[in-house]
Chain A
Amino acid sequence: MNQTQNHKRIIYRQGDVILEQVDFNVKDLEYYARLESDRIVIRSENGHSHVMNNIKLYRYYNRQIVVVEKPTPMVHEQHPAIVVMTGIYELRFVRDWLLRESRTYD
């Protein structure tokens, strides 16, 4: 998906989970990246999970890329659902200076 220069990158955050819109070509992803799953399940530190169904989760080197083909909600039992619009996103987590990189707590 190509973005115009004026287009703002959309970033969704639900708790510690971040989805950042990235500029990737779907065909390149299908060719170079490895399809890992058709859903996201990320366990929170308090035992609940961030869940997103009907997506494509790719592993591209050490990055996790999520392809959302239609508006899809990310749900969590303690957070309000957040609807992620169609696009290609990188899955990230809140980072910590002491850990030297962005990693989730669990």
Chain B
Amino acid sequence: MENRYIHLGVGVSGIRSYSLGICKTFTSTCLVNSKYRELHKMYVASHVNYVVREFIDNLDILNNPFHIYRSSDRTYYVYKYSDKLWSLLEQIFMFAEFIQSNKKLRYRKREIVENVLLNCRDVDRCIDSIIDTVNRLKFVIMKRRERGKKALLTRFMRNTQKCMYVVDKYFSDLRNVHIFDISNMCKSYYTSECEESIFNVLRKFYDSDIARRYSHEIAAGSSPIWLFARDGIFAIKTLPIYEDLGIFFRVFYDSCVETDKYVAVKLIGVTMANGYIDRIEWIAVLGLDKHSNQLFLHYVPKTLVFRDVETCRRWLLGLADRFGNVAQDIELIEV
């Protein structure tokens, strides 16, 4: 049987990627001559650097390569091929990328890798240890995500109750909004027919330039419902909502303010699934100018989800960035 070798190319974090391949020769000929190469995979060095190096340093089977050579800024460790060893290396790279993909895991990767290495007495146990650790961490992440969704829902519901009196007093239309349903024309991806249908509705209320730009963004967006305010409040339904499957669209009132010049409420449109918030679709500021008795509704970035309505209003005026940092060197005079 022909000999096969595993070539593990160890790069440098942030500078040179890692590579993993199977070759028919143990020398660097494999790199330049494809007839010796059976498989070749590349990995981002900054993603896998720490984890792979820890395994090489701590596992005897990886620490004693059959051959070592340097080429193209990588140090290549060559091992005789075995299914177990190949499987172990694949698991190590998968494990490294999984840790890198999650911020909270990334911060404690040293501890996680040490725990895995404690059980790496042989290759089989090492593979089992990696798989068990990944499954356990996935479960922890899922639980954490569910807790986050529950906390978000609780926050939104509590704030909605607080702002209910403002909405009832100034925006009673919001409870019974007229909906223009064009969901039969739209798909979950952008189509020009959808944009035209939205445009035909919006041009009754807006200048054609503004209507065109709104309709283009909405046709490309993922929200099933979009709100607008002119003389009254109306909505456009662009996608079906599968209520029979437990998927709902809901608008929460997250924050509100009332002054002698204006009233404003921060609206958050969300898609709910399984009783929890699945996705925040949009955030908008609905307001009433008391001087002109004019309703207004403007969308703000989703990054302002935890900011109050006054910060969102400052963003609309160009006085805050999209993370809610308000400019300090200004004096706002408004009527």
Contacts and interface: CB of A to CB of B under 8 A. Distances in A.
A11 B319 contact: yes
Contact of A12 (B210, B214, B327, B334): B334
Given A10-B331, A105-B207, A79 B218 contact: no
B269 to A, nearest CB: 12
B217 A13 contact: no
Interface string A9-38: 111111110101000000000000000000
B299 interface: yes
B184 interface: no
Given A8-B330, A14-B334, A95-B316, A100 B217 contact: yes
B317 interface: yes
Nearest to A81: B335
A13 B335 contact: yes
Contacts of B331: 8-11
A106 B230 CA distance: 12
A10 B333 contact: yes
Contacts of B299: 96-98
Contacts of A48: 292
B243 interface: no
Q: Is the interface of B mostly helix, strand, loop or mixed?
A: mixed
A41 interface: no
A46 B333 contact: no
Contacts of A79: 291-292, 335
A96 to B, nearest CB: 5
Interface string A65-106: 000000000001011111000000000101111111011011
Interface string A35-72: 00000000011101000000000000000000000000
Interface in B310-335: 315-319, 327, 329-335
Q: Which of A12, A96, A99 has the most CB of B within 10 A?
A: A96
Q: Which of B292, B293, B331 has the most CB of A within 10 A?
A: B292
A92 B330 CA distance: 15
A10 to B, nearest CB: 5
B318 A92 contact: yes
Contacts of B292: 15, 44, 46, 48, 76, 78-79
A103 B318 contact: no
A18 B317 contact: yes
Interface string B274-301: 0000000010000001011110101111
B250 interface: no
A14 B335 contact: yes
Interface residues of A, number: 33
Interface in B12-50: none
A40 to B, nearest CB: 16
B329 A9 contact: yes
B330 A99 contact: no
Nearest to A18: B317
Nearest to A98: B299
A11 B333 contact: yes
Contacts of A76: 292
B213 interface: yes
B107 interface: no
Contacts of A15: 289, 291-292, 294
Contacts of A95: 298, 315-316, 318
Given A11-B332, A11-B333, A106-B207, A46 B317 contact: no
20 contacts: A11-B319, A11-B332, A12-B333, A12-B334, A14-B335, A15-B289, A15-B292, A15-B294, A18-B317, A78-B292, A78-B294, A79-B291, A79-B335, A92-B318, A94-B316, A95-B318, A96-B298, A99-B210, A100-B213, A106-B207
Given A80-B291, A99-B210, 4 more contacts: A8-B331, A13-B317, A46-B292, A102-B318
Interface of B: 206-207, 210, 213-214, 217-218, 230, 282, 289, 291-294, 296, 298-301, 315-319, 327, 329-335
